[in-house]
Amino acid sequence: MRRALTIAAAVIVLSGGPAVAEPAVAPDRPLADAGQEARAQALFEGIRCVVCQHEAIADSPAGVASDMRRLVREEIAAGRSDTQIRAGLVERYGDYVLFKPPVRIGTWLLWFGPFALLLAAGSVLLLRGRKSASGETSPLSVDEERRLAERLADEDVTS
């Protein structure tokens, strides 16, 4: 009996009946124009589903993501540019909605930090290399290697 009930419940859930855990999401209607739809898909990849953990609206099964996809498609159909659409979304949801953070003073470290690190470390190395280029040393000779091994062995009481 319990199993029969479980199966019944499962059938209802799987078939999208009234017991569904997540609300049924209206299916996406792609834009008729293939070029416009491609633009929409590209935009979806960079827009965050505002109720999800870390998902783009392109990937999210949530209802909000579906609404946002419809909104973007509507705006494309209305002739707005990608920049206008993004700006509109930011106005509505804040910078949080875009996976590409804005470049402003507060995010300079984020955007340029790694490159600054690379440049700084590279310059330090170059300068140091110049300084030490005057003196040249040779690698360990066979004799030196042997003395290294002996010294290490002496030190090694037991291990």
Residue closest to 113 by CA, chosen among 103, 98, 128: 103
Spatial separation of the C-alpha atoms in residues 116 and 104, rounded to whole Å? 16
Q: Can you tell me the distance from the alpha carbon of 114 to that of 64, in angstroms, rounded to the nearest whole number?
A: 35
> What count of residues does the chain have?
159
Shortest distance (Å) from residue 131 CB to another protein:
10
How far is residue 143 from each of residues 72, 130, 150, 151, measured CA to CA in Å?
74, 30, 11, 12
- Integer-rounded Cα Rg, in Å, for the chain is 31
Contacts (CB under 8 A) with another protein, residues 72-131:
94-102, 106-107, 109-111, 113-115, 117-118, 121-122, 125-126, 129
Could you tell me which stretch among 69-77, 79-87, 141-149 binds another protein (CB under 8 A)? 141-149
From candidates 56, 64, 71, 80, binder to another protein by CB under 8 A: 56
Under the binding rule (CB under 8 A), the answer on residue 13 touching another protein is yes
Instruction: Give the binding site for another protein (CB under 8 A).
Output: 6-7, 9-11, 13-16, 21, 24, 27-28, 30, 41, 45-46, 48, 53-56, 58-59, 94-102, 106-107, 109-111, 113-115, 117-118, 121-122, 125-126, 129, 132-133, 135-137, 139-140, 142, 144-152, 155-159
